[in-house]
Amino acid sequence: MSYKNYPMVSRVIFGRGSFNQLGDIIAPKRRNIKAPFIFLVDDVFKGNSWLTSRIPLAYQDKLIYVPTEEEPKTSQVDKLTEEIILSFNERPSGIIGVGGGTTMDLAKAVSIMLTNDGSAKDYQGWDLVKNPAIYHVGIPTISGTGAEVSRTTVLTGPERKLGINSDYTPFDQVILDPELTKDVPKEQWFFTGMDCYIHCIESLNGTFLNAFSKSYGEKALELCLEIFLENSLTAEEAQDKLMMASWHGGMSIAYSQVGVAHAMSYGLGYLLGTKHGIGNCIVFDHLEEYYPEGVKIFKDMKAKHDIELPQGLCADLSDAEFDIMIDVALSLEPLWENAIGKNWKKKVTREKLKSLYSKM
C-alpha cells in the first residue's frame, strides 16, 4: 500500500475585509515591473466598483473579465494563455482568480499553461504536468466547490470533461473573505452550496473514506446542516460558515473521492452543458438508492429554500446521446469505485444509468 502525498495551499488568509490585503500580499511576489500580475475576474463584477476598485493594479498589471455562463474549456485556457504571452515580453509575476469555481479553475489552468508547452487538453488526467505553474492566487466569491483548496482544475476538452490533477495545480495563496459572497443570488447560492453538501455525502459514504477525510467531511456536513436547515444564523454567519464548509468539503475529497452524483453530473455537463452545481442537484435528487439519508435531507433543504429543479432534461434525447452521457459517467472509474466498491462494474450497468438519466 502506498499512500498519497498531498500538496496543500501554502498560504491562506481568512476574514471579512481580508480582500483589502491583496496588494500587500502579492507585492513581494512581483519579479520586476515588467512582469505583471494578471487578474482574472468573474464578469459579474464588471462595473461593480465595490469590488473592482480594490483590485491593486500597478505597472502593467492587467484585469481580464471572464464569462461564466459556461464552464471552462481547454480551448478557452489556450486562448487566454496565448493572449497573455503575446501581450507581454515577460512571463507574468502571477495569476489571480477572483470568482467562483469557473474563474478559479481558469486561473489555475492558465498558471500551469504559462510554463508548460502544448494545449491544456494534453494535461487532462492525473500527474501529467511537467513544470511548476507560475504563482497563482485564488479568491472565491461564492462558496461550495472547494476549488479554492483542491489539486484539480476541471476543464471540458474536445474529448472529455476531466481535471488537470497535479501537484502544481493548488493555489500558492488563497484569500477567504466571506463578505465577497454577499450578493450571490439565492438559487446559485443553493446550487453551489449543495455541491459542498454532496461532496460530504459522497465522501462520507464512500469506500475510500479514512480518518483524514472523515474529520473534514463531518465538519463540513455539520456546517451545511446548520446553514441550510436551521434558522438561527445571521446572513454574515451563514456566509462565514459556508466558506469554511467549502474548504473542509474540498479537504475531505482530497483524500477520498466523490461518487455517483458527480460521475453522472459530468455526463450531463459534457452533453448538455449543464453546470456543475445544478447538475449535481438534478442527479442527486434521484439517488435515494445510493444515498438514502443524504437524499432525504437534500429534499428537505430544497423544500425549505423553495428551490425548483428543472425537469425533463433528458426527455428528448436519442439513444446515441444517452450513450455519450453514459460513456462519460462510466469513464470516471475512481468515482464509481469509491461509491460502490472494487466490484462496481458488476453492479453499475449501462441500463441502470440509462434508467436513471431518463428520470432527469
* Binding region for Zn ion (CB under 5 A): 195
Determine contact, residues 147/98, Cβ cutoff 8 Å: no
For ligand NAD, the binding residue among 150, 166, 173, 203 (CB under 6 A) is 150
d(CA 348, CA 313): 22
Number of residues that bind ligand NAD (CB under 6 A): 30
- Which has the closest alpha carbon to 290: 195, 190, 207? 207
Work out the angle at residue 105's Cα, subtended by the Cα atoms of residues 102 and 109, and round it to the nearest 5 degrees.
140
User: Does the footprint of ligand NAD cover residue 99 (CB under 6 A)?
Assistant: yes
- Interface map 284-323 toward ligand NAD (x if CB under 6 A): ----------------------------------------
Q: Is 274 in the site for ligand NAD (CB under 6 A)?
A: no
CB nearer Zn ion, residue 172 or residue 195:
195
Q: Which is nearer to ligand NAD, 93 or 124 (CB)?
A: 124
CB 302 within 8 A of CB 286: no
Answer for which of 102, 111, 166, 203 binds ligand NAD (CB under 6 A) is 102
For residue 98, the SS3 value is strand
Residue 263 contacts ligand NAD per CB under 6 A: no
Interface residue with ligand NAD, options 74, 76, 111, 152 (CB under 6 A): 152
What share of residues in the chain are helix, strand, coil (percent, to 5)? Answer: 50, 10, 40
Which CB atom, from 80 or from 224, has the smaller least distance to Zn ion? 224
Whether 168 and 128 have beta carbons less than 8 Å apart is answered as no
The identity of residue 97, as a single letter, is: G
Q: Is there a contact between 71 and 106 (Cβ–Cβ < 8 Å)?
A: no
Q: Which residues contact ligand NAD by CB under 6 A? A: 42, 44, 68, 71-72, 99-103, 105, 141-142, 144-147, 150, 152-154, 180-181, 183-184, 188, 192, 195, 276-277
